Chains A and B, each alone.
Chain A
Amino acid sequence: MTFGDIKYRLNEFWSEFRKEKSGLIGLGILIVALLVVVFEPLILPWKDANTRWRSIDYWQDNSANAPPAWMNAFTKLKAPVTMRIEDAKKEETELDGGIKLVTYTFDYHYTADKAPLDVILHITGHGDIPFQVAIERPDGATIDLAQRFEQGLSGQDIRLSIDNDGREAAFTFVKNYESQEALEQFSGKSLRTADILFNIAQPGMAKEFKPLKGTYKLIAKAMLLDPQNSDVEEPYIVVTGSISGLLGTDDSKRDLFSGLVAGLKWALLIGFLTSAISVFIGVMYGIVSAYFGGAVDSVMQFVYQIVNSMPVLPVLIVISAIFKPNIYMLILVMVLFFWTGSVMTVRSMALQIKEETYIEAAKALGAKKSRIIFKHMVPILIPYSFASMALSVPSAIVYESSVSLLGLGDATIVTWGQILHDAMQGAAILKGIWWWILPPGLLIAIMGMTFAFLGFSMDKILHPKLKTR
């Protein structure tokens, strides 16, 4: 089979395939999915979602169980969206005695109707550094939130949360406006810092939240006592809102959109690898079984029947529970069950081809068995298996997600099934956290639909008998 042959056959196939509307839709979705996988580093909002999905401190600045950001379009009271601000105005001033004062000013435009949950400052420091954080409100008031002295830093990340570290300062600020009686009903602990800071300063502010909209300035000052040996760099703030990202967060504060994008490549890999390897094995098995016949055929049919009479998922669950396989081992185990799918059709087709005259001619010319099988039988039968290849992709994805749903998935990667497992564990059904349950399953279903579209269209073209119906 030459390159020209392949090209001709592909052209022929394409001219038929173009007429199948569902097939084209499937192809379109598949191409989009592949593009997402290729451009994953650009699309991922959280760049390390792949490697640090289970790290607690990577996600700590998010809010837990936050609905998607676009939920604001459906609510009357707008909630602030979680955002990260890296733009800072940097000022350096020399003080007496060789001390340098570095000031970073962040602007936050506050327009929501609810207060953010927290504002968190991150900064990387070297050496011994006293820090000071203040906030300047749109009404002109400046509140000194917190001070901290960090010693012996060597590039660690300093994290200052105004909710924790600025609580006392906020309470002092409320005292200016509230009467003593009103204050007695609250202790410093029951107040949320952000509720005070983003509130209009007036009597009754401790009870009721009225947003003071406008531009807030978060001012972070770091004193470099010994400018040669100490330094601060890479400052940024995170404003933690009660809604977050494209698809919200789960109860471990993870951004679900990042998880779903990271899971896509695994779903495709599981589907492709499992179906491609198993269909290849199945085709070879069917051909060998048909070509040699006799005792070989009987033994091979027996093995086939044994594998075929095992229920896949239960066996898969027990194997995963006992051997705790990684993802590639799981794929291998699935291949051990999936190859039977195409054996029977291939075998019956190979039985017909075997009797063709050109096979007889090849035999008469003294062709080896391997040459007849690989040169004359495999090229004819492989295209027919493409349809069953596409149709077995969805079940591979569903089996993996079922195993992951039980908590037996590979813990080094993120898959959609694992997200659903976490959702089950986090009682997302009970709490009605639909953005945690709906998207992963929907994606599994869409992947299944895509390959069903492709598979059924290819089936129609490659098995012309179905076309008349």
Chain B
Amino acid sequence: MYKWFVLKRVLKGIFTYIIIIFIMSVLFNTVNEQTMRASIEDQVRAESMRLKNMQPSAIQRYQQQRRDELVHLYRLDRPLLERILFRTWNTITFSFGKSTIIKSSRGDRDVIIIIGEAIPRSLILFTLAAAIEIAVGIILGLKKAQKPGGTLDRTTSLVTMIVYGMPTFWLAMILIMFFVYQLKIFPSAGMHSVPLPQGIMYLVDLLWHMTLPLLTLLLIGFWGVSFVVRNIVLSILQEDYIMAARARGIPEKRVLFGHTLRTAAPPLITISVLSLLASISGAIIFEGIFSWPGLGNLYWIAVQQNDIPVLMGDLAVTVGLYQMGLIMLDLTYGFMDPRIKVGGKA
């Protein structure tokens, strides 16, 4: 009954998202309404500028009328609870309104367009990093688990602990200082060269710009993954069926990759998605150091420009992506481990 499991999990995810957005609407209500009133004033002023040949009193009357209309349109004259619910609904339907300062690359001021531009840029960076992290982490973890307590195991575990609390943004700063300004082999910032290269060179250029951000994420990321992989694989290697497989004379490589990894797949998927989510939850602002124009960089710009609508929209989208990641996590886990979708309880 996998489809019921999927439906249940997705509905639960959406419900959680709605509740989180509601909490945030309550929390940030005052600021949101201030920004809205300010933008209404701007709009009214801009509209009355266009009016000509009118008495000052008539202009004032018109302004007041427009103001009331807009306040009514945005329901600022309604009771508090209704206002909050209205904002929650707007956020869930992704109508974030217009930004106060920030513009998209084409000059749009719709928050959803600004954020929509940033999403794929962040996703490509973080998913690519997570994919490489997992590949390297699994290989290293298997090697560690083969000889627990060996030199490789001990040294890499030590490095895991050394990088445990290392801030990603700081490593980014150091790498930029060394590779960009000392060795001068990577570009300092951004995603593309100007002018934009065409064809295959576009991809090469993108990769060239992406190398340093990727390297930063990897250097901190894969140690932890390999440490967890080691623990998972090690506990599986102690199972009886592994011993039986070895006794039957199955080559060690097939025992590792066939028998062990199949059993280890569900928890491995968990940690890979979790490490992706952890970088969204904890390292996203390192984009700002590289001026990588994704969601994390948007936080920097929005904070510096004090652009509240963009900040709110960015947060709502990040929470949404995080939520989607959690749903994906449970769905793949359920797919890989049949016990979960049948039993219902993990």
Contacts and interface: CB of A to CB of B under 8 A. Distances in A.
B164 A394 contact: yes
B319 A311 contact: yes
Given A317-B299, A437-B174, A309 B323 contact: yes
A453 B161 contact: yes
B250 interface: no
A351 to B, nearest CB: 13
B20 A310 contact: yes
Contacts of A438: 174
A65 B279 CA distance: 33
Interface stretch (B97-105, B281-289, B331-339): B281-289
B243 interface: no
Contacts of B167: 398, 401-402, 441, 444-445
Given A306-B16, A394-B165, A437-B173, A317 B282 contact: no
B173 A448 contact: no
Nearest to A437: B173
B20 to A, nearest CB: 6
B248 to A, nearest CB: 25
A456 B161 contact: yes
Contact of A451 (B24, B158, B165, B303): B165
Nearest to B300: A406
Interface string B318-346: 11001100100000000000000000000
A445 B280 contact: no
A395 interface: yes
Contacts of A456: 161
Task: Using C-beta atoms within 8 Å of the partner chain, give the interface range for chain A.
Answer: 35 or more
Contacts of A405: 169, 285
Interface in A298-340: 305-306, 309-315, 317-319, 321-322
B170 interface: yes
B63 interface: no
B104 to A, nearest CB: 20
Contacts of B308: 322
Contacts of B281: 311-314
Nearest to B28: A322
Nearest to A452: B164
B107 to A, nearest CB: 25
A438 B175 CA distance: 11
A407 B234 CA distance: 44
B129 interface: no
Nearest to A303: B19
A399 interface: yes
B173 A429 contact: yes
A395 B280 CA distance: 14
A119 interface: no
Interface centre among A395, A402, A444, A451 (most CB of B within 10 A): A402
Nearest to A442: B170
B181 A429 contact: yes
Q: Is chain B's interface secondary structure helix, strand, loop, or mixed overall?
A: helix
Interface string B139-172: 0000000001000000000101111111101110
B282 A395 contact: yes
Contacts of A361: none
B21 to A, nearest CB: 11
A432 interface: yes
B165 A311 contact: no
Interface in A415-468: 420, 423-424, 429-430, 432, 434, 437-438, 440-441, 444-445, 447-449, 451-453, 456, 466
Interface stretch (B53-61, B66-74, B309-317): B309-317
A423 B174 CA distance: 12
A429 B176 CA distance: 7
A318 B16 contact: no
B114 interface: no
Contact of A429 (B20, B177, B304): B177
Interface string A13-36: 000000000100000000000000
B39 interface: no
Given A310-B319, A437-B177, A469-B231, A402 B164 contact: no
B311 A434 contact: no
B36 interface: no
B31 interface: yes
A423 B169 CA distance: 12
B302 to A, nearest CB: 8
A407 B323 CA distance: 28
A319 B308 CA distance: 11
Interface string B13-28: 0001001100010011
Interface in A375-413: 393-395, 397-399, 401-402, 405-408
Contacts of A399: 282
A250 B280 CA distance: 32
Interface string B225-241: 00000010011000000
A365 to B, nearest CB: 33
A444 B188 CA distance: 24
Given A22-B161, A420-B173, A449-B161, A318 B315 contact: yes
27 contacts: A306-B16, A309-B16, A309-B20, A309-B326, A310-B319, A312-B282, A313-B283, A314-B281, A315-B319, A321-B306, A322-B28, A322-B31, A393-B165, A397-B165, A402-B169, A407-B303, A408-B303, A429-B173, A429-B181, A437-B173, A441-B166, A441-B173, A444-B167, A447-B165, A448-B164, A449-B165, A452-B161
CB-CB nearest 4 A-B residue pairs:
A448-B165, A394-B165, A441-B170, A452-B164
Given A447-B165, A448-B166, 6 more contacts: A311-B280, A311-B319, A321-B311, A407-B303, A445-B163, A452-B161
